[in-house]
Amino acid sequence: MNQKVTEWIDSHKDELVTDVKKLCSIPSVLADAEGDAPFGPECKKALNTAIDMAAGYGFATKNYDNYVGTADLDPSLPHTLDMLGHTDVVPAGEGWTVTEPFHVIEKDGRLYGRGTSDDKGPLLCALYAMRALKETKTPLTKGVRLIMGSDEETGSIDITKYYAVEKEAPMTFSPDAEFPLINIEKGQFRGTLSKKLTASDKKPALLSLDAGIALNAVPQKAKLVFSGLDFNAEDVKFAIASVEKDCQVSCEIDAETETITIIGESAHASTPELGKNAGLAGVLLCNRLPLAECEQTKLLKEVEILFPYGVTDGSGIGINMKDEESGAVTCTLDLYHVTAEEMSFSFDARTPLCAGEDNCVKVAKDHVEKAGFDWSTPGLVEPHAVSADSPFVKTLLKAYSDVTGLEGKAVAIGGGTYVHDLKNGVAFGAVLPDVDTHMHGADEFMDIDNLVIATKVFAEAIEQLCR
């Protein structure tokens, strides 16, 4: 390890924290394009703030039409290593208790706020690693570039634009996940089951059910509106209490407006078992309430069969499978919209290397259509894998172990990162093992010590790969 670099990073911790607070205060959630802001003005602002930070620290920067920004440590050196992060974030969501999502605070050694761990904090760790090497005049013979995108959470159109005009570096890592290193990212399979309904005038009835704010996040809140439901009836009280107990959620009742709001717990779609799915709890509640039978209630019962509460292996739609290298399917129903005239539900599944059109897409379609729903899907996104035995992966893992003293090993995950479509790309940090930062959920945080350690790991990795 480079002692000068380590000392520089320690002495600039407060500056790093200040920059993280500044960048995370910008609500850079996807919005409609406006002028030269392809993902909305806030996404443009966050991207340009990060670019300006890099330029202010003396790096050669470039703005690719407000889609992507880059910072090169030394543009005269051969382009060898890319670090790929993003400045956009998922919607704020509800359920925050420590602070408001875009008012970042420091508490008990942690920074709380949307983007602190996904991915503004880690992106700035990569920038500060470059800055540490630059300001300590550490000699390198190969070039390193920080790529800053602004649409990772909602389609990665930014990176498509970037790689249309720029070549992949021989090596790329993204500080957009967890340490030690992710060399396999499962495939992604999404689908929507929907149905136009014949409205019924029978009561009591469900007027609407809505849940979910993003397809890649377990819904934390569901709102149900009824007509003609007697909230004082014992069978209604029993149904509500049973769902609260069985699903470990809470139900807020407004008898005057005949509304029930269910509060669960969000989680990333790649780890749905960590959440409490408020949308599915809402479906279960409807199925237990004494609602008048109609086409709507019949299909809601089918939803419960296709996506049983607490079951996240895709078995309800027939796609439960696994392999030794990449693990098992995860599947979660995350978007819900039900009225008297229509219903639609969308799921997000993460699929192992063994999944394909025949054993996954066609099987799910068959189950959904047999249940009486219409079916649509964008298809299966292929998984991504880089050999764990490659010199690139081994060098990154050595850097991680040298800095942290922890075991370095390559793992497979269900989440997707920017490197999913890059030939020699892996996800490398920045969250330390066994730390749940509530990524995509309420009270997202990043430990300040984690930020410092990640910066040291990145600096060590750059030096070992590019010296």
Task: Write out the DSSP string of 210-231.
Answer: EE-S-TTB--SEEEEEEES--T
Residue 324: the pLDDT is 87
Please report the sign of the dihedral spanned by the C-alpha atoms of residue 47, residue 52, residue 57, residue 59: positive
| Nearest by Cα to 391 from 6, 2, 72, 81 | 81
Cβ atoms of 441 and 334 within 8 Å: the answer is no
Three-class DSSP category at 275: coil
Residue 105: the pLDDT is 98
Three-class DSSP category at 354: coil
Q: What is the CA radius of gyration of the chain?
A: 24
pLDDT < 50 positions in the chain: none
For residue 180, say if its preceding peptide bond is cis, omega within 30 degrees of 0: yes
For residue 119, say if its preceding peptide bond is cis, omega within 30 degrees of 0: yes
Residue 415: the pLDDT is 75
Angle, CA of 430, 435 and 438, to the nearest 5°: 90
Please report the sign of the dihedral spanned by the C-alpha atoms of residue 239, residue 242, residue 248, residue 252: positive
CB within 8 A of 308, min separation 6: which ones?
A: 316
The catalytic residue positions are: 88, 152
Strands 79-86 and 171-174: parallel
Partner residues linked to 143 by β-bridges: 79
Three-class DSSP category at 454: helix
Residue 222: the pLDDT is 98
Partner residues linked to 60 by β-bridges: 72
DSSP state, 37? B
Q: Which residue, chain included where needed, has tokens 């509460």?
A: 309
Residue 454: the pLDDT is 98
DSSP H stretches of helix in 59-214: 120-135, 157-165
424 vs 142, 182, 386, 457, CA distance in Å? 17, 12, 6, 19
Residue 1: the pLDDT is 85
Angle, CA of 354, 356 and 360, to the nearest 5°: 100
Three-class DSSP category at 36: coil
CB within 8 A of 448, min separation 6: which ones?
A: 13, 17, 106, 109, 110, 111
DSSP state, 188? E
